[in-house]
Chains A and B, each alone.
Chain A
Amino acid sequence: MPDENVVLVIRPRNCHYCGNGFYALGHLVDSIKANNIDVVDLAGQDAIKERVTQAIEKYNPDIVLSFGHGSPFVYTAENEKIVFDKNNIDILANRIWHTLSCLVGQKLGMEMVECGGLAFSGYNESWYWVAEDVNQDAYKDKYAKYFFDADNTIAFILAVTKNVAEAYRAGHDKYNQYIDYWLQNPDDDEYASEIAKWLIWDRDVSVVYTQQQQYVFEKNVLPIAVMGLPIILGVVASYR
């Protein structure tokens, strides 16, 4: 069985608009380490398939946290090269995987659980954010920090508690806290409602699949075959 005190973090630097995320996950690494959990930090040039495979075989982490580009079928990291797809997703069997990547929740996340993964946490549509500068540390960016911190909350709680439901709840609480902040707009920012809009979007397209059940925002235990549809249909159906 995987080692319950080891977390693997994958954070590419060289890919389109990856600067904010690279630095944001650096803060995540620091926070997890501060809780006396060992972190294998595959950053930048180390965020490649070969190194990820080696790290999983050598350190046997129970939690894998990543960000990078995604599609329904693949997760990519440094240089936008594939790290996980259907050919090797079974390497995550008996583990929990959270990834900040667009669309992975549509297919690959489900396949990960079908291949024996304990749980997948991620997004089943594109994850959008706003930034002053996409190359700087997200936590120094007046817009980006809210988006990345909300996602980091999910990852951090997963790493510390190993409790998927708790992480999902904490992440949504954080998204809601920031949505409230922007819809009050204490600093009179010109983009306030737009920032809130994309936080609402990201919250609502976050998904969790486990061996037993799955969570979609405000909708629990849905049949796996219709994942993703309830959110979209729920909105479309209420519009003329």
Chain B
Amino acid sequence: MKLAQVVDWVNQMRKIGEADIPYIEVDGKFYTPNEILEEAKANSEVWQKIQEQLGDPSWGLVEKRLEEKIKKGRVPTIYSMGKTLTPEEQLKEIKEKTTTGWTLRLAEAKLLEELEKRRKNAR
């Protein structure tokens, strides 16, 4: 991925409020698109690893993303027929690993896959 492509991608992620949300986990550390851009600019060792590992997510990353989004107030209350889940309730379901918590993880994983698909297609 060339630096100009990273810049375009991060700008798009900023547009949808995802630039400061973890996008990849490398050696146990989470990196947001903003941080990925910094690593790319520095052409660091981490940047080389990031390029190799993009598109290979972990459940830990999915959970971290949800936690960060809820902490930053980016998660709305969601509804299903007969059920409402505030951001705080969503976090509780995730932490307690309930069936609903797994649904929340799975939905986040699907979003991550969609974002990754779009990143690849934009190249």
Most chain B beta carbons < 10 A, residue from A101, A134, A194: A194
- Give B42 Cβ to nearest chain A Cβ, in Å: 26
- Give B91 Cβ to nearest chain A Cβ, in Å: 14
A residues contacting the other copy or chain, number (CB 8 A): 45
Q: Given that A197-B111, A201-B107, A201-B110 are contacting pairs, would A183 and B118 also be in contact in the complex, using a CB cutoff of 8 Å?
A: yes
B15 interfacial by beta-carbon distance below 8 Å: yes
- Give A11 Cβ to nearest chain B Cβ, in Å: 12
Interface residues on B, range: 20 to 34
B36 interfacial by beta-carbon distance below 8 Å: no
Contact A17 B107 (CB under 8 A): no
Contact A143 B76 (CB under 8 A): yes
- Give B101 Cβ to nearest chain A Cβ, in Å: 13
- Give A228 Cβ to nearest chain B Cβ, in Å: 12
Most chain A beta carbons < 10 A, residue from B16, B110, B113, B118: B16
Contact A130 B15 (CB under 8 A): no
Interface residues of B in 43-97 (CB under 8 A from A): 56-59, 62, 69, 73-84
A16 interfacial by beta-carbon distance below 8 Å: yes
Q: Give CA–CA (A71, B33) in the complex, Å.
A: 40
Contact A102 B111 (CB under 8 A): no
Which of chain B's residues have a CB closer than 8 A to the CB of A139? none
Q: Give CA–CA (A183, B96) in the complex, Å.
A: 30
Q: Mark A135-155, 1 if CB is under 8 A from B, else 0.
A: 000000001000000000000
Which of chain B's residues have a CB closer than 8 A to the CB of A130? 76-79
B35 interfacial by beta-carbon distance below 8 Å: no
17 new A-B contacts, CB < 8 A, other than A16-B81, A131-B79, A197-B111, are A16-B82, A17-B82, A18-B81, A67-B81, A102-B80, A127-B81, A134-B84, A179-B114, A182-B16, A184-B16, A185-B16, A188-B15, A190-B17, A193-B74, A201-B107, A240-B57, A240-B58
Leading 3 A-B pairs by shortest Cβ distance? A197-B111, A240-B58, A126-B80
A-to-B contact residues, CB < 8 Å: 15-18, 21, 67-70, 80, 101-102, 125-131, 134, 143, 179, 182-185, 188, 190-198, 200-201, 204, 232, 235-236, 238-240
